[in-house]
Amino acid sequence: MSTETQTVKTTTTKTSKMVNISGAEAVIKCLLEEGIDLIYGYPGGAIMPVYDELYKYQDKLHHVLTRHEQGATHAAQGYARVTGKVGVAIATSGPGATNLVTGIADAQIDSTPMVCITGQVAKQLLGSDAFQETDIIGISMPVTKWSYQITDASEIPEIMAKAFYIARSGRPGPVLIDITKNAQFEKFDFEYKKCTSVRSYKAIPDVNEHAINAAAEIINEAKKPMIVFGQGVILGKAEEEFKALIEKAGIPSAWTILGLSALPTDHPLNVGMVGMHGNYGPNKLTNECDALIAVGMRFDDRVTGNLDFYAKQAKIVHFEIDPAEIDKNVKTDVAVLGDVKETLARILPKINKNSHSSWMQEFKDYMDIEYDKVIKDDLYPEKEGLTMGEVIKHINEASKGDAIIVSDVGQHQMITCRYAKFNKSKSNVTSGGLGTMGFALPAAIGAKMGQPDRDVVAIIGDGSYQMTIQELGTIYQTKVPVKIVVLNNEFLGMVRQWQQLFFDKRYASTEMVNPDFVTIAKGYHIEAEQVSKRENLASAVQRMMDSKDAFFLEVCVEKEGNVFPMIPSGASVSDVRLS
Amino acid sequence: MEDIQKFTFSVYTENNIGILNRLSAIFLKRHFNIESMTVSKSEIDDVHRFIFVVNITKSQSDKLIGQLEKQIEVIRAYSHTEDEIIYQETALFKISSKHLYDEEIQNKLKFRRANIIAITPHYFVIEASGLKDEIDNMHDKLKPYGLLQFVRSGRISISRPKMAISELLKEYS
């Protein structure tokens, strides 16, 4: 059935052996061998043998009980995103497993390293529609980087080693390992060898020197070069190499939503965000640059707008680890495959020193226009209602750009990404590709546990918040000191904005009648405040930032605020609107 | 608009449970209909070969190759146009024995690459191999005799260009 013995190459230097242990204990041993000390999950029938071992190993492996399996995946993602390590989530079979699917899909599209472990009914019951049996391998297959069903305890070490290798190597992603209950009970002699390669899987493509030279030539000859960087810079741990390149070549650099924080927001060459709610200049100038250099990004439709009118005048260079991304959406002139940490370092000596100051000035001129038409009113509003932008501004002032900011999905997310300040990489945690409402609260739990010495602020809309609000229970139980800001406009704001602009204000099912969020937070014994007046905002934000414990702050913002700039769906990036 | 053509994909994979699902999901996600599919062992021990036939554009085919190869257990995927491969299909026709000595049927069998592979008092079975059109033609000709059963295999194909899987595997290990 399986050719695993041929497909896994293992190191011989470090092995760990134990005689006659259960499959369940072997699972824990594998996690410890991989350096995992924190996992998120929810117990249930088919995974109980593993939980029984977790009880025995609780001094070495900390398990966080979330209030829903989806929360476990998002917490694991938050942990992975701020640490660069593999996040682990564990659940039982059936509904436990299906509840993981949203988080798995989110991790797949946002390239987050995660290993999910699910219990499964015993091997002899497979296919019998047994209690809590579901085909989680089949259900999750299109949204996992890899998956495997273990039906025999002896498979556990090799498959777990392979799972962690695949999850973290190359372009990272989620791996699901489904373990039948009999395999958890069976005894066998355990031996662990780390996986270092898999036949049929090339984690990192070879670097082609000709491509490096061709890319360097385009960059050196360009009069108006522009860089768009994505999460690849962060995943490749290539922040320093990236900064060295743009500073030497003097190239204005814009980011995708997941690239945010790879370069400090106040870096002089950081020209802001591209895409649907990105900045005016980088969107407009995408269609004026003569070389567009994409670094670790995938030309998502929210970034490019209408592809028929996207950077047609420019030569396109694409630094990318995943060969399937080359020419997927935008045809490249030069594709530089490889790990950006290596390719950026190798191209650096071939790049001429330059400044492009008049070209850079064009970005500044557009920024001045955007400031007058949009930013000024977002950050320093003169109207009565509070804006989301001014809340972010106060958080910036209190955090000085050192906090990890976790945002959910919707208007507040776009405003957060537009205005939040970041000094350090791996500090922006948000659901980019999948746009998963409910992501932020559990992801913030994982982020704070991954970086306990840093402030973690979750910024969440009133709609998103109620999708995973039960994770307040996890916060109360674990005492994890996350700061939670709900920007409450009593609407599903982004959908309402589209209804206003494109559906003649027919606000179908977007108005929210909300509960008393402060009372709910207090019900979980979390310190909580509500602010609805401008004069109280700064001090409330400061109290939140000063708090040593978890803190909930609800800010009642204007009901019908809109996010601009905006590229209407189907329009070109250069048709970006300011109002 | 790009022309839609017939592409034959040869996908070399590990021999593990579930790979078919993983591959077919890639076609499903892009709303591509699989016209024909064959799975078998390949020229290399422990390596399986899938052959998919799909009607798509050249650029869709290029992207599909990327997505197929991205799967962990796919060693390499190739797509070929009709003139780059040698291919055929096999069909079986089950017909009532009362037509066994029908002159027209006997003539057709001689003319086509077809054989009778089973005869019983009640029925006989004709096996025919060839291109899809040839088998379609045979099907149309035999249909008036009342087909008790008809089945056709997926396409099997051999590429004219080299597919260097053995070399690749050496490189991987």
- Total beta-carbon pairs less than 8 A apart between chain A and chain B: 66
Three-state DSSP state, A224? coil
Q: Within its chain, how far is the Cα of A553 from the centroid?
A: 23
Class of domain B5-85: alpha beta
Residue A6 is predicted with a pLDDT of 45
| Helices A69-83, A440-450: crossing angle, 10 deg rounding | 50
pLDDT, tens digit, 9 for 90 and up, residues A217-251 = 999 999 999 999 999 999 999 999 999 999 999 99
**Annotation marks residue A123 as catalytic:** no
Eight-class DSSP state of A67: S
Q: Among residues A114, A273, A414, A494, which one is catalytic? A: A494
Q: Is A145 on the interface with B (CB under 8 A)?
A: yes
Rg from Cα positions in chain A = 24
Residue A2 is predicted with a pLDDT of 41
User: What are the start and end residues of each CATH 3.40.50.970 domain in chain A?
Assistant: 4-198, 380-556
Chain A hits for B170, Cβ within 8 Å = none
For residue B58, give the nearest of A327, A142, A320, A298 by alpha carbon: A327
Fold of the domain built from segment(s) A4-198? Rossmann fold (3.40.50)
Q: Are A347 and A359 in contact (CB under 8 A)?
A: no
Average pLDDT, chain B: 92
Residue A55 is predicted with a pLDDT of 97
CA distances from A515 to A464, A469, A558 (A): 14, 12, 18
Q: Among residues A29, A162, A181, A193, which one is catalytic? A: A181
Q: Is A5 on the interface with B (CB under 8 A)?
A: no
Q: Among residues A25, A34, A53, A69, which one is catalytic? A: A69
pTM of the model: 0.95
**Annotation marks residue A560 as catalytic:** no
AA letter at A525: H
Cα distance from A473 to chain B (closest Cα, Å)?
Answer: 37
Residue B93 is predicted with a pLDDT of 96
The β-bridge relationship of strands B123-130 and B85-96 is: antiparallel
Q: Is B167 on the interface with A (CB under 8 A)?
A: no
Q: Is B63 on the interface with A (CB under 8 A)?
A: yes
Is B62 close to A322, i.e. CB distance below 8 A?
A: no
Is B70 close to A323, i.e. CB distance below 8 A?
A: yes
Contacts of B68 (CB under 8 A, 6+ apart): B9, B11, B23, B26, B74, B77
**Nearest chain A residue (CA) to B25:** A142
CATH 3.30.70.20 is held by the domain A380-556: no
CA distances from A424 to A115, A261, A418, A421, A448 (A): 26, 6, 16, 9, 15
For chain B, which ranges sit under pLDDT 70?
Answer: 111, 172-173
For chain A, which ranges sit under pLDDT 70?
Answer: 1-14
Chain A hits for B73, Cβ within 8 Å = 7, 146, 200-201
**Annotation marks residue A554 as catalytic:** no
For CA atoms B60, B62, B68, B70, the dihedral sign is negative
| Helix, strand, coil content of chain A in percent (nearest 5) | 40, 20, 35
User: What are the start and end residues of each CATH 3.40.50.1220 domain in chain A?
Assistant: 209-363
Residue A101 is predicted with a pLDDT of 98
Is B25 close to A142, i.e. CB distance below 8 A?
A: yes
CATH 2.60.410.10 is held by the domain B86-152: no
Upper half-sphere CA count for residue A527 (Cβ side, 13 Å)? 16
**Nearest chain B residue (CA) to A327:** B63
Window 181-200 of A: residues touching B by CB (8 A cutoff) are: 197-200
Q: How far apart are the first and last CA of chain B?
A: 42
Is A199 close to B173, i.e. CB distance below 8 A?
A: yes
Q: Which CATH superfamily is domain A209-363 in?
A: TPP-binding domain (3.40.50.1220)
Distance (Å, whole) CA A399 – CA A388:
17
Upper half-sphere CA count for residue B59 (Cβ side, 13 Å)? 9
Upper half-sphere CA count for residue A468 (Cβ side, 13 Å)? 33
ipTM above 0.85, yes or no: yes
Window 82-141 of B: residues touching A by CB (8 A cutoff) are: none
To which H or E segment does residue B123 belong? strand B123-130
What are the residue ranges spanned by the domains of chain B? 5-85, 86-152
Is A322 close to B70, i.e. CB distance below 8 A?
A: yes
**Nearest chain A residue (CA) to B165:** A200
Cα distance from A285 to chain B (closest Cα, Å)?
Answer: 28
CA distances from A253 to A226, A229, A291, A411 (A): 6, 7, 12, 24
**Nearest chain A residue (CA) to B171:** A199
Is A141 close to B74, i.e. CB distance below 8 A?
A: no
**Nearest chain A residue (CA) to B74:** A200
Residue in B70, B76, B168 to test binding to A, most A beta-carbons within 10 Å: B70
Q: Is A579 on the interface with B (CB under 8 A)?
A: no
Query: Residues B134-154, buried b or exposed e (16+ Cβ, 10 A)?
Result: bbeebeeebeeeeeeebebeb
Cα distance from A63 to chain B (closest Cα, Å)?
Answer: 30
Rg from Cα positions in chain B = 19
Q: Is A328 on the interface with B (CB under 8 A)?
A: yes
Q: Are A343 and A206 in contact (CB under 8 A)?
A: no
Three-state DSSP state, B148? strand
For CA atoms B118, B121, B123, B124, the dihedral sign is positive
Matching fold, domains B5-85 and B86-152 = yes
Eight-class DSSP state of A373: I
